[in-house]
Amino acid sequence: MIDIDDVAQAADRVHRAGTWRSVAARKRGLDAVAATLESHRRELVDLAADETHLAPARLEGELTRTIFQLGFLGDEAIGGTHLGATIDHSDASWGMGPRPDLRSVAQPIGVVAVFGASNFPFAFSVAGGDTAAALAAGCPVVHKAHPAHPRLARRTADIVVEALRSIGAPEALFALVEGHDEGVQLVQHPLVKAVAFTGSTSAGRALFDLASARREPIPFFGELGSTNPAFVTPAAWERRAGAIADGYLASVRLGRGQFCTKPGFLAVPAGASATIAAAAKAGDEPALLLTPGLRDGYETSLSDFAGLAGVEILEGGASADAAPPLTLLSTTAETVIAQPDLLEREMFGPASVIVEYDDATQLEQLAPLIGGQLTATVHAESDEDVAGLLGVLAERSGRIVWNDWPTGVSVSFAQNHGGPYPATTTNTTSVGAAAIDRFQRRVAYQGVPSNLLPPEIRDENPQRIPQRVDGSLVDPLAEGDR
């Protein structure tokens, strides 16, 4: 029986001791975790397949992504971009009156609680993106395991602890805890300074409310719900109907529809749904969903949706099978325009809704009706005037996908995985380089002697990181290259 207070206290001691502050140590630690995961690949994928019912090939890819992500975020930490090192030398002629020497740099926020997701047992779980980003930011992590894959979570945690120990990192830098009540205690613990969460809107909102109601409120970086609508113009459909239908179906089927970026709605010209339904006849391979509870929730949301006026079942449908079939529903733009809250109904599983429109102007009527989204997708020809449509979608989503599908989420410098509520609870990303920024806070130093400053904001710049000096960006590595 793990005591949450003991775990939080131990993690906070690591934070205060500052032994994990060195970016070089962070990089070594993240690389060690990556290498140790790789050396246990077979065992981990087997365990994950057994507990999640996801296909081994999909899990292999997810583990590769997870391992890459650890190294990538370690590189970002050591590169120093995210520290926002800024130096203002004293300036007697500064416009508002003499300016003292003032410097600022980001420092780790403190102990971070990370909640694992059910649907990505590697990439959004024990050693997933939130854990990697928090460690890269210099923060200790207490990970709350998702109950859908407890054995994998424990085994992965053992590997993380072993890897961090191998590079001499402090023992309490990472800990795993389990249990609903333990998760609640963690969010409410005074020494926990931020929470990262990926899961359902109901569970995420309940924890967000707890984090906000604390005596000292803390940031809650939650990824909750998204229906990821996709919009196909008449010209795109006319020229590429087959490829669009195949791409859409592959994206919906990925992970049996249990992706936060699954395209839940596809707006197409009238008549197109028959083509898609025909393409869907071939090759469906029903599989168990992540958990029986999740399957029940999926069936309920599917039955509710299918029962709405103006909605028809094109393919599949409600089923008592443990492994539900691919289900395509169809409706019309008129129906959705009359009841726009339809667009916020997420069905977490292998279902999606095809919305037929009579006339391309309806696309522009539909777009402003969508709620906050992780992604919005447009299939169009590049000579079409869709700037207005893209602008409306950019207001409502965190990523615009063009002539592609939203289920691939690359880990890179520019990636943004987050959008207006309920997609996420804050305007931040949980994937990509900027994920690190969430777990830092800036501190300014006024007139502090150089030997007492953090090295990142000394004039000598011993770590050769990017600095903003008196307003100008200076990147010593870029200069050295020239």
Which residues ranging from 216 to 235 are in contact with a second copy (CB under 8 A)? 216-217, 219
Minimum CB distance to a second copy smaller for 224 or for 306? 224
Q: Which residues pair with 473 in a beta bridge?
A: 468
Q: How far is the CB of 91 from a second copy (least distance, A)?
A: 8
Determine which one of 223, 299, 346, 356 is catalytic: 223
Candidate residues 26, 28, 82, 103; the one interacting with a second copy per rule CB under 8 A: 103
Q: Name the minimum Å distance from CB 231 to a second copy.
A: 13
89/447 Cα distance (integer angstroms):
9
Amino acid type, 350: P
What span, in angstroms and rounded, lies between the C-alpha atoms of 317 and 299?
9
Reduced to 3 states (helix: H, G, I; strand: E, B; else coil), residue 375 is strand
Closest C-alpha among 304, 309, 316, 255 to residue 280 = 316
Within residues 365-404, the interface with a second copy by CB under 8 A covers 372, 382, 386-387, 390-391, 394-395, 397-404
Q: Which is nearer to a second copy, 141 or 386 (CB)?
A: 386
Q: Look up 139 and say whether it is catalytic.
A: no
Q: How far is the CB of 417 from a second copy (least distance, A)?
A: 8
346 versus 356: smaller Cβ distance to a second copy: 346
95 interacts with a second copy by CB under 8 A: yes
Closest separation between CB of residue 443 and a second copy, Å?
A: 5
Give whichever of 244 and 411 is closer to a second copy, judged by the CB atom: 411
Alpha-carbon span 319 to 265, nearest angstrom: 21
Nearest-CA neighbor of 277 among 243, 327, 236? 327
CA distances for 263 relative to 249, 316, 349, 352, 369, angstroms: 9, 17, 11, 7, 16
3-state secondary structure of 310: coil
d(CA 351, CA 60): 24
CB of 445 to a second copy, least distance (A): 5
Cβ proximity to a second copy: between 16 and 180 the closer is 16
From the list 23-31, 86-94, 244-252, 313-321, the region that binds a second copy by CB under 8 A is 86-94
Phi, psi of 105 (to 5 degrees): -155, 150
How far apart, in whole angstroms, are the C-alpha atoms of residue 204 and residue 352? Answer: 23
Least gap, CB of 322 to a second copy (angstroms): 31
Of the chain, the end-to-end C-alpha distance in Å amounts to 58
| Shortest distance in whole angstroms from residue 310 CB to a second copy | 25
Tell me if 94 contacts a second copy by CB under 8 A.
yes
Three-class DSSP category at 356: strand
Count of helix runs (H) and strand runs (E) in the chain: 15, 17
CB of 446 to a second copy, least distance (A): 5
Stretch that binds a second copy, among 244-252, 261-269, 328-336, 464-472 (CB under 8 A): 464-472
172, with CB counted inside 10 A (0-12, 13-18, 19+), is buried
Q: Does 410 bind a second copy (CB under 8 A)?
A: yes
CA angle 243, 245, 247 (to 5 degrees): 65
Residue corresponding to tokens 């707890």: 210
- Of 64-72, 265-273, 309-317, 322-330, which segment contacts a second copy by CB under 8 A? 64-72
Cα distances (Å, whole numbers) of residue 433 to 31, 74, 134: 16, 10, 12
Q: Please count the other Cβ atoms lying within 10 Å of the Cβ belonging to residue 250.
A: 12
- Is 260 a residue of the active site? yes
Q: Going residue by residue from 161 to 200, which x/- string records binding to a second copy, judged by CB under 8 A? A: ----------------------------------------
Name which position in 9, 22, 81, 301 contacts a second copy (CB under 8 A): 81
Out of 18, 242, 271, 292, name the contact with a second copy by CB under 8 A: 18
Using the rule CB under 8 A, which residue among 55, 68, 291, 365 binds a second copy?
68
| Choice among 51, 260, 346, 356 that is catalytic | 260
Contact of 101 with 92, CB cutoff 8 Å? no
Relative to beta strand 141-144, strand 174-177 is parallel
* Contact mark string toward a second copy, 419..448, x via CB under 8 A: -xxx--xxx-x---xx-----xxxxxxxxx
Q: Which of residues 251-270 bind a second copy (CB under 8 A)?
A: none
Pick the stretch among 98-106, 144-152, 270-278, 313-321 that binds a second copy (CB under 8 A). 98-106
Residues tagged active-site:
223, 260
